[in-house]
Chain A
Amino acid sequence: MSLELARRLVEILLALALIQQSLEHLRGFRDERILFGARIVLAVLVLAGVAGPWPLVGLAGLSLLILHRFQGPYNGGSDRMGLLILWCLTLSSLAPTPILAELAFGYLGAQLTLSYFISGWVKVVNPDWRSGRALRDVFQFSAYPVAESLRGFAQRPGLLRAMSWGVMGFELAFPLTLLWPPALMVGLVVAGTFHLANACLFGLNRFFWTWLSAYPAILWLQGRVF
């Protein structure tokens, strides 16, 4: 996959993700409607491929105003990943040389890999994760389960231990999928399914669309490096 194609795919997927998120804010307060209305306009321009790279630059500038409005990301990790994608795309588009453009875009692919590996590492060094206790806590008392009925999973420690090891094993093994293109495809399908499950169980729909929009970057990086 060429850099241009990968970048364009990420642009399209990110623009769709930003439009989806922004539409949700249009039923919010007046200042949110103004900020996210402007973001929809800019994201549509990115989607249409019009006047590039300036709509991306506009989105990057607007992202600072949105960060200021909420004094940080609105939705934690998913918004931070969205910012990383947006700024890597923008810097890659503005880079004065091809190698700098590749470095900016490659950084996104590398961070995507790290997002899985480090998440797995910080869990596996925690005894509560290895025993399944941490995941039990998530279901038992954390604010994430979307319904009270899901708290019942806390009464199934064997299942939660198996799920914990499944998640940690996948996250830690993810960098190995870069060694072989078919393995990477399988890895991304598993990762997408993982995000889908998190979206359904914990309402983290923004993670699903945001992480998906970065996948072309890792497909490009795999072909470029290996």
Chain B
Amino acid sequence: MPRRTEPLLAPLKLLAPALVPSWNFFDVIAPAPRVEYALLASPGDTSGTWRVFRPRPARVSLPEMLQRLVWNPRWNQNLFVMSCAERLAEDRTPEHSEAELFKRIAADLAAEPADPARPWLCFRLVFVHREGEVLTEEVMVQPAPRRLAEIDIR
């Protein structure tokens, strides 16, 4: 395929699965990704504390569930983060997915007081799956840390 036509065809390739859908929703329950992040003093620092990115709440009331029918941006962003995690683990669009994950974690951190002693951000993807009756966790991806201040969150 000539290189000049690739940028034109790329969105059409993304559109094709929508026009000829597979509809295989939940055919198998795949390992579930969880995004964890840590702030580090340096790229090689191992003393950072891993925190779950956007842990789910203990409870959500029925009125809140119904309200989310019309306003649910945070959860829908969580679903996109999950898609990025799956794509990254499967090595599909890895650069894009990695950048999206850094960007969204950094945007949340911007709302917290900065820690000048820990200017580096890293994340890892922990996949939870069942083996027999036991749930197991496996770290599948941990990209190189990035300097928090250099991540564009505009």
Compute how far the CA of A63 lies from the CA of B69 in the bound complex, rounded to whole angstroms. 23
Q: Is the interface of A mostly helix, strand, loop or mixed?
A: helix
B41-87 residues with Cβ-Cβ distance < 8 A to A are 56-60, 62, 65-66, 68-73, 75-80, 82-83, 87
Q: How many A-B residue pairs have CB under 8 A?
A: 155
Q: Is the pair B23, A115 in contact by a Cβ cutoff of 8 Å?
A: yes
Stretch from A43-51, A75-83, A94-102 contacting the other chain: A75-83
Nearest CB of B to A101, in Å: 17
Compute how far the CA of A122 lies from the CA of B107 in the bound complex, rounded to whole angstroms. 39
Compute how far the CA of A119 lies from the CA of B79 in the bound complex, rounded to whole angstroms. 20
Compute how far the CA of A6 lies from the CA of B34 in the bound complex, rounded to whole angstroms. 42
Once A71-B96, A138-B29, A143-B82 are accepted as A-B contacts, the answer to whether A148 and B57 lie under 8 Å apart by CB is: yes
| Interface assignment of A173: CB less than 8 Å from any CB of chain B | no
A 108-126 binary contact with B (CB < 8 Å = 1; else 0): 0001001100110011001
Q: List 15 A-B contacts (CB under 8 A).
A: A28-B73, A29-B154, A68-B10, A68-B14, A80-B18, A83-B18, A115-B23, A128-B29, A134-B29, A137-B130, A138-B26, A143-B34, A146-B65, A147-B60, A205-B72
B residues contacting A by CB (< 8 A) are: 10-12, 14-15, 17-19, 21-29, 32-34, 56-60, 62, 65-66, 68-73, 75-80, 82-83, 87, 93, 96-97, 103, 107, 128-130, 135, 153-154
